[in-house]
Amino acid sequence: MLRALFLVGIIGGVCVASLAAQELPSQDLSQYRTMGIGLQAPCVISFRYWLTENFALELNGFVISMGDFTSGCVAGKVLLRLADTDIFDFYVLFEANLHIGEYWGARSVGDIALKGGMELSILPSLALNLEFGEALIFSADRVSATPAVSLGLHYYFVRTPQPPPAE
């Protein structure tokens, strides 16, 4: 009897919780973002700016130099958001990357990549992203293809939405 009562309580609690969750309004956490500053592998420092709700530009880079060793990269990205849910956004991007020094081997000059990406919004101002696709690496003597993966974390400045005009 105690088991049956416990089971009915669990089922009732799940039903009430699901009904209560349906009553909550949806909130798109990526709405109203503008500039994002963060970390983006492999080029470390990242500035991402959403010009519109579905179009962004990003600039990444770093340089490290110690003695005769120098390594770094500068990358530019164009992002196009394809889908926007409350916590996940899905986008495609084109990336061009200039290699500095020993970044991808002594003879590589740069690469271009076409990737798909997803961004998980933790808060309206904080998001993790994962990008994956294919890159063409340009060397002094050849061009080679390789998988391209990137992981990032951005802190976004969120603009305040304008109140609707009074009627």
pTM across the whole model: 0.77
Mean pLDDT score of the chain: 84
Does residue 19 carry a pLDDT above 90? no
In the prediction, which pLDDT does 145 show? 94
In the prediction, which pLDDT does 7 show? 45
Residue with token string 């592998």: 41
Q: State the maximum Cα–Cα separation within the chain, in Å, rounded to a whole number.
A: 79
- Domain architecture of the chain: domains with CATH: 40-158 (2.40.160)
In the prediction, which pLDDT does 88 show? 93
Q: Is 76 helix (H, G, I), strand (E, B) or coil?
A: strand
Across 134-159, average pLDDT = 92
Does residue 132 carry a pLDDT above 90? yes
For residue range 39-74, list pLDDT tens digits in order. 998 889 999 999 998 999 999 999 988 888 888 999
In the prediction, which pLDDT does 10 show? 53
Closest to 92 in 3D by CA, of 106, 102, 77: 77
**Spatial distance between the Cα atoms of 81 and 150, rounded to a whole number of angstroms:** 17
In the prediction, which pLDDT does 8 show? 44
- Token digits for 1? 């009897």
**Spatial distance between the Cα atoms of 88 and 163, rounded to a whole number of angstroms:** 25
Does residue 119 carry a pLDDT above 90? yes
pLDDT confidence bin for 163, thresholds 50/70/90? confident
pLDDT confidence bin for 16, thresholds 50/70/90? very low
- Token digits for 118? 């997803």
Across 11-17, average pLDDT = 50
